[in-house]
């Protein structure tokens, strides 16, 4: 089986490459990435897959590069589409930049797949819980998306572009929460990672708003494991929620306080109400879930000094 | 040949008869022809007539890359339902090369150039290889189209044939209703004329003649495909 991962050199992509390159049924993992974040960690450090790294091939190209994208799909059985512009949960970016990649980049991929109807048999499309905007109650897979941010809108438009391919291939439409946890390609603009770094370095975190706002979160290892199962055909296609739990900023702070009892919290605009989003975890992806503080303690061991 | 399940609306029969004869004559002359379609509700009449009277005619869809997903699904559904030979014309210029100096896609700063790369350029090789271009422009849609005749000359000197030039929006409605033909899925959301997603707005109370949602807010009214060349 040949798997192509767009955005495969990114945070989640790196862990997914690691998981798939170890799978005996995978002959090649094609990492299709424009390296726009200047993160080269996929290629650095110890081997990812115990002697199987020769099965990893990097194509440095943009998802909007129609010609290279089409060529890269030669002989590919499974596509995992991670390439995206991402914002952190609490920030808005340039609307067009989000649209360009998340909507039109996904559109380019959809045309390439449409043209090769029958060759790529499975598509895993990474969307976001941001398509729900905010919720009064818990958003389920039946909840109509009402995105509240430019990022959420661009991700929903991307979904619509691949949904139309559902009769051509097995489509996994995955609405993913905010990712956290150690990876050699990790990002420190993800809120839990940022807090851990700030707590570790300066014993001080900054909370915007009241801190009661909630979001859906998933550990990078569990996200990679779930997507890997989809890629290997261990799950039936469909729409998925990929998250471990919903947490408020204050609950994240409480977990950090267990590791750093002298941690201080600074509040900015704490009277400002911030929207919350609570998303129902997907029973098809359920598994053992360690306490957050335990996971953060494991993450902490990767810091080289205190 | 796809036969209509229901007879044509009575008042349209002479005109449909004329189109049938004209298409027959073009075929008799052995002209290498093609049609273009943007796969809107408006387009369904021409596509249905082609399916009835010239089903082997290639129909080119300008897949600009910026269409609504609803348009793309509508195109696939009609291809199956009408049994047409629908082909996609795509820009030879990679999307990554369609960005301006600030890295933004061209529709944000230079829609004329965006149309040129994605609508005008992809059709050039099709025009060069053919002798007759059939399309469904109607005089009531815009001033540019009102100035067109039933037959004309297009870019590169190609012969153009506009079988629906004298049809009104109401007549298109009659034909669609008379044959119980499908509508573009965005029509029920209030869209009139549907083009590329970035340059299409939902007009207030649009009908089939209403192109006000196209390049809304701009002075531009045509993509350039149907203008120039003396038509």
CA distance A126 to A158: 9
Q: Which of residues 152-191 of B touch A (CB under 8 A)?
A: none
Q: How far apart are CA A215 and CA A222, in angstroms?
A: 17
Q: What confidence tens digit (pLDDT) does each residue in B64-97 have?
A: 999 999 999 999 999 999 999 999 999 999 999 9
Closest CB to B95 among A64, A96, A163: A64
A96, HSE (Cβ side, Cα atoms, 13 Å): 11
Comparing C-alpha atoms, which of A245, A278, A82 is closest to residue A174? Answer: A82
Q: Are A118 and A162 in contact (CB under 8 A)?
A: no
Residues of chain A found within 8 Å of residue B66, distances taken between Cβ atoms: 104, 107
Query: Who among B94, B105, B108 is closest to A66 (CB)?
Result: B94
Flag whether pLDDT at A117 surpasses 70: yes
Point out the least confidently predicted range of A81-90, A261-270, B219-228.
Answer: B219-228
**What mean pLDDT comes out for the span A85-108?**
82
B window 61-80, beta carbon within 8 A of A: 63, 65-66, 69, 72-73
* Residue range A87-96: mean pLDDT, rounded: 64
A112 CB contacts (<8 Å, ≥6 apart)? Answer: A66, A69, A70, A73
Please tell me the pTM assigned to this model: 0.91
**Chain A residue numbers touching B196 (CB-CB < 8 A):** none
Q: Do A96 and B65 touch (CB under 8 A)?
A: no
* Parallel, antiparallel or unpaired: strands A170-176 and A238-242: parallel
Nearest CA in chain B to A66: B94
B90 touches chain A (CB under 8 A): yes
Distance CA B149, CA B165 (A): 7
pLDDT category at B216 given cuts 50, 70, 90 is: confident
Q: If DSSP codes are grouped into helix, strand and coil, which group holds residue B88?
A: strand
Q: Who contacts A107 (Cβ-Cβ below 8 Å, separation ≥6)? A: A158, A161, B65, B66
Enter the ipTM: 0.87
Interface probe with A: pick from B94, B117, B198, most Cβ of A within 10 Å: B94
CA B107, B113, B119, B123: dihedral to nearest 10 degrees?
A: -160
Q: CA–CA separation, A187 vs A170, rounded Å?
A: 30
Q: Which secondary structure element, helix H or strand E, spans residue A278, and what is its range?
A: strand A278-279
Q: Strands of A78-81's sheet, edge to edge?
A: A56-60, A28-33, A2-6, A78-81, A122-128, A170-176, A238-242
pLDDT score, position B231:
37
What does the pLDDT look like over B4-53, one tens digit per residue?
A: 668 888 899 999 999 999 999 999 999 999 999 999 888 999 999 999 99
**Looking at A24-28, B105-109, B134-138, B217-221, which range is the least confident one?**
B217-221
Nearest to A66 among B69, B72, B95 (CB): B95
Q: What is the DSSP letter of A176?
A: E
Chain B: residue whose CA lies nearest to A108: B65
Instruction: Please say if A11 is a catalytic residue.
Output: no
What's the rounded mean pLDDT across residues B171-197?
Answer: 92
């Amino acid at each position: 089986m040949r798997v192509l991962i767009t955005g495969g050199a990114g945070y989640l992509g790196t862990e997914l490459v690691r998981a798939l390159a170890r799978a005996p049924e995978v002959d090649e993992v094609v990492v299709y990435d424009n390296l726009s974040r200047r993160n080269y960690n996929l290629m650095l450090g110890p081997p990812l897959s115990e002697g199987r790294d020769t099965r990893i091939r990097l194509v440095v190209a943009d998802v909007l590069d129609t010609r290279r994208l089409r060529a890269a799909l030669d002989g590919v059985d499974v596509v995992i589409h991670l390439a995206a512009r991402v914002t952190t949960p609490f920030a808005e970016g340039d609307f067009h930049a989000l649209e360009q990649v998340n909507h039109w980049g996904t559109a380019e991929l959809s045309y390439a797949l449409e043209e090769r109807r029958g060759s790529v048999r499975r598509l895993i499309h990474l969307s976001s819980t941001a398509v729900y905007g905010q919720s009064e109650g818990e958003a389920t897979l039946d909840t109509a998306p009402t995105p509240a941010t430019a990022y959420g809108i661009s991700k929903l438009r991307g979904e619509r572009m691949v949904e139309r391919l559902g009769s051509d291939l097995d489509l996994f439409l995955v609405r993913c929460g905010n990712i956290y946890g150690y990876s050699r390609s990790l990002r420190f603009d993800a809120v839990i990672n940022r807090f851990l770094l700030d707590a570790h370095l300066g014993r001080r975190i900054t909370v915007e708003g009241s801190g009661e706002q909630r979001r859906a979160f998933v550990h990078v290892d569990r996200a990679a494991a779930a997507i890997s199962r989809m890629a290997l055909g261990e799950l039936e296609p469909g729409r998925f929620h990929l998250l471990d739990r919903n947490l408020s900023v204050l609950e994240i702070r409480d977990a950090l306080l267990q590791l750093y009892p002298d941690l201080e919290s600074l509040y900015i605009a704490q009277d400002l109400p911030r929207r919350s989003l609570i998303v129902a975890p997907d029973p098809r992806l359920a598994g053992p879930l360690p306490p957050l503080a335990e996971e953060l303690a494991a993450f902490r061991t990767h810091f080289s000094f205190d | 040949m796809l036969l209509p399940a229901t007879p044509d609306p009575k008042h349209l029969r002479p005109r449909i008869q004329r189109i049938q004869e004209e298409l027959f004559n073009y075929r008799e002359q052995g002209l290498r022809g093609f049609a273009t379609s943007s796969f809107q509700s408006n387009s369904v009449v021409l596509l249905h007539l082609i399916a009835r009277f010239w089903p082997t005619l290639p129909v080119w869809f300008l897949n600009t890359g910026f269409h609504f997903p609803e348009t793309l699904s509508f195109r696939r559904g009609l291809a199956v339902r009408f049994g047409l030979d629908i082909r996609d014309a795509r820009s030879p210029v990679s999307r990554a090369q369609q960005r301006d100096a600030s890295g933004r896609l061209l529709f944000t700063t230079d829609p004329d150039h965006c149309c040129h790369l994605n609508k005008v350029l992809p059709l050039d090789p099709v025009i060069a290889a053919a002798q007759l271009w059939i399309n469904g422009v109607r005089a009531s849609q815009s001033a540019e189209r009102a100035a067109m005749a039933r037959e004309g000359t297009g870019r590169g000197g190609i012969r153009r044939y506009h079988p629906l030039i004298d049809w009104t929006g109401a007549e298109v409605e009659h034909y669609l209703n008379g044959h119980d033909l499908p509508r573009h899925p965005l029509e029920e959301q209030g869209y009139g004329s549907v083009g590329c997603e970035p340059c299409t707005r939902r007009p207030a109370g649009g009908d089939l003649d209403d192109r006000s949602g196209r390049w809304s807010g701009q002075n531009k009214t045509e993509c350039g495909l149907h203008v120039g060349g003396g038509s």
